[in-house]
Amino acid sequence: MKKSIWRLTVRSEFCASHALRHYEGKCESMHGHNFAVEMVAEGDRLTGDTEIVLDFKVLKRELNAVLDTLDHKNLNDVTPFDTINPSSENLSRHIWQQLAPRLAPHGVRLHAVTVSEKAAQSATYMEIDE
Q: What is the distance in angstroms between the CA of the first residue and the CA of the last residue of the chain?
A: 22
Instruction: Give domain limits for the chain.
Output: 6-21+32-125
- What pLDDT sits at residue 52? 96
> What is the CATH number assigned to the segment(s) 6-21+32-125?
3.30.479.10
- What pLDDT sits at residue 119? 86
The pTM (predicted TM-score) of the whole model is: 0.95
Instruction: Determine the Cα–Cα distance for residues 16 and 76; give it in Å rounded to an integer.
Output: 10
Residue 123's alpha-carbon distances to 90, 97, 119, in angstroms, are 9, 15, 11
Q: Per residue of the chain (130 residues), what is the pLDDT tens digit?
A: 899 999 999 999 999 999 999 999 999 999 999 999 999 999 999 999 999 999 999 999 999 999 999 999 999 999 999 999 999 999 999 999 999 999 999 999 999 999 999 889 999 999 998 8
- What pLDDT sits at residue 69? 98
Instruction: Determine the Cα–Cα distance for residues 42 and 6; give it in Å rounded to an integer.
Output: 5
- What pLDDT sits at residue 59? 98
